[in-house]
Structure 1
Amino acid sequence: MSIFLADAPATQPGSSIWGLLLPFVLMFVVFYFLLIRPQQKKQKQRNLMLHQLKKGDKIVTIGGLHGTIVELTDDTVVLRVNDTMKLTFDRSAISTVSQSAPAAE
């Protein structure tokens, strides 16, 4: 059994640390470009969309409710759902903006 141990090459301590760290560094780079960076872009686009809301925009909430913006504050949005009903939501509850309503004549 000592024959097998004597045949094993001696490892250099300086090179083994880089051999251990390189896979972790590569994994972090892959995770950054595949997961972290796209998520940051989506968040930036969502914040821009929420900032650009205006009266008359037709929107869809996270819960699937469709409505038209009647009033806006920094934190809340009042939506007209039909001719008589208005509902108040947090700005963060807005999922998508479909289009602006045509101007009333």
Structure 2
Amino acid sequence: MFISNAYAASGTTTDLASFLPLIVIFVLFFFMIIRPQMKQAKEHRNMVAALQKGDEVVTSGGIVGKVTKVTDSFVTVEIAAETEIIVQKHAIQSALPKGTIKSI
């Protein structure tokens, strides 16, 4: 008479609540790490695509020079008088303002 059946509580709210911190961490990870890295990669692609003859650049190896020729995937860089090297476009780290090489 005093004993009644005990039914298990519904677990849907508990399951959702347990995944909520994981979802929040993923969203924070995306906005703090992945998105800025994607933006930086896009800026680098645009900079490499805009390279033209006469631009002053720094390679990923730290070599500073002036662009003398641009092809689809390679760039010829003059690093000294009558000394040129050919590097892949993605090896260009940054473009320098005009006149930087003369001031060094």
Please tell me the TM-score bracket, short chain as reference.
0.7 to 0.9
Q: TM-score, normalised by structure 2?
A: 0.83
Partner in structure 2 of residue 37 of structure 1: 35
Aligned residue among 6, 12, 15 for 2:13: 15
The one-letter code of the counterpart of 1:90 is: Q
Partner in structure 1 of residue 80 of structure 2: 82
Q: How does 1:89-100 map to 2 (within 5 A)?
A: 89-100=87-98
Q: Give 1:11 shift.
A: 5.0
Could you list the runs of 5+ residues in structure 2 that have no partner in the other structure?
A: 1-7, 100-104
Could you list the runs of 5+ residues in structure 1 that have no partner in the other structure?
A: 1-9
Runs of 4+, deviation exceeding 6 Å: none
Where 2:72 maps in the other structure, the secondary structure is coil
What is the percentage of aligned positions where both structures have the same residue? 30
Partner in structure 2 of residue 6 of structure 1: none
Where 1:81 maps in the other structure, the secondary structure is strand
* Structure 1 Cα separation of the partners of residues 15 and 60 of structure 2: 48
Point out the more displaced range, 14-23 or 60-69. Answer: 14-23
Q: CA RMSD in A?
A: 1.3
